[in-house]
Structure 1
């Protein structure tokens, strides 16, 4: 049997900023571990073919936009054979050398942890509040409409664990999907993301699935990453409808 890689990662590509993507790729390739990065291209024109040719990168052209979760799941069979740890990575994330290795050490200390994620910052250094409680319908609606935010401020703050000391690690209900580091065997056992979600809510859903396995998700703020965060559904009617559709599927699956 082929020797396993220390870590694999997958990035789903669609309308990406090439400068941001290159920075993300370079951050991953700098990790001093045996690794492989899978670039999964959802563009019909295979826009990213031939751009990254480093030996630790494998390019996969899907040929059409199949959505976030479905694209990440394209390598599930590969992970069964090759990977100890697997990173779900957004194309607009950067991090310092040592972040991945330190997160892996935490995963290795506790076999009950299926997934770990660091503190997430905006490029200006502000906190993104990436660890959350499972959302209510009222919270999701309030987050999408600025006029409602003052009325639902307490609900939003509670959803972001604002009452906690977020400088300390803890087991969060869910952690947003820009950077999720899994023990690969658990990601495979979960069958990856639920492909009924084209975009949005798949990160919340997979955290629910981790609960169903009896495993945990650790928020670990001793390590930090930077995430640009496009917030597309707040700016695009099409993406807003995608988000709404995913939210409806989520609540029908897990309950209101």
Structure 2
């Protein structure tokens, strides 16, 4: 693969095809030359093999549901020394063509910033709290069980940086994983995501790893994207247990 400006990766498993097409179109409409999008298919039957066929798309069948982080890591050797920037993207995100060039410009302003993310909105344009402080156990429990939320209101608000002016750029502790734009070299040097997490918490974990190498994450609300946000663990018992398992692994790794 020739050296290109930007690569992106989307992990696929039981996706809403209308949302997915919007996401793919958003990437393909980025006004930059030499872009490539990797679609990593975690279905056992290679369901998405012929759903999206474009010259700037490379399809990667896994034929097993190996999880979010492990699937994104499948592209590391494909992008190492071959792209300048790499976008981790959820299959239910959309954005305007100007967003990526603007974020790249901001990302390049400081050497110690390795990842950037914009303001995130729901489809109804309501604000999503996508940059947060590292979670406590009590905050995670309160966010998962709505009836507890009023008891931990201040904890949740602090975790969501509601005490800050979120209209201005700043360096948050972590950025949710629906959209991470990295300098490719940094993503490769981080080793991608910790594959011990099947789903959930891997975005928080990689932000901890960024801290460990002395670099920063930039929240840049002057640009915005739309994210549908499935919130699967609050609707599915199986995903709830996945989230709980990931939380236990996270706190055992980084401390309580």
The TM-score range, normalised by the shorter chain, is: over 0.9
- Distance in 2 (CA, whole Å) between partners of 1:53 and 1:21 is 13
| Residue pairs, 1:102-141, within 5 angstroms | 102-141=102-141
- Distance in 1 (CA, whole Å) between partners of 2:28 and 2:39 is 13
RMSD: 0.7
- Distance in 2 (CA, whole Å) between partners of 1:75 and 1:127 is 31
2:44 paired residue number = 44
2:181 paired residue number = 181
- Distance in 1 (CA, whole Å) between partners of 2:35 and 2:130 is 26
Secondary structure of the residue aligned to 1:109 is coil
Alignment size in residue pairs: 255
| Residue pairs, 1:145-160, within 5 angstroms | 145-160=145-160
Q: CA deviation at 1:81?
A: 2.8
Q: Normalization by structure 1: what TM-score?
A: 0.99
- Distance in 1 (CA, whole Å) between partners of 2:84 and 2:149 is 42
- Distance in 1 (CA, whole Å) between partners of 2:2 and 2:79 is 12
**2:169–2:221 contact (8 Å) kept in structure 1:** yes
Query: Unpaired runs of 5+ in structure 2?
Result: none
2:16 paired residue number = 17
Q: CA deviation at 1:52?
A: 1.2
Q: CA deviation at 1:4?
A: 1.7
Secondary structure of the residue aligned to 2:151 is coil
1:225 paired residue number = 225
2:242 paired residue number = 242
Cα distance per residue 1:163-210 (max 9 Å; x no partner): 100000000000000000000000000000000000000000000000
**2:81–2:185 contact (8 Å) kept in structure 1:** no
Bigger mean CA offset, 183-192 vs 77-86: 77-86
1:30 paired residue number = 29
- Distance in 1 (CA, whole Å) between partners of 2:176 and 2:188 is 19
- Distance in 1 (CA, whole Å) between partners of 2:143 and 2:220 is 25
Q: CA deviation at 1:109?
A: 1.0
Q: CA deviation at 1:3?
A: 4.4
1:172 paired residue number = 172
- Distance in 2 (CA, whole Å) between partners of 1:95 and 1:221 is 13
- Distance in 2 (CA, whole Å) between partners of 1:98 and 1:112 is 24
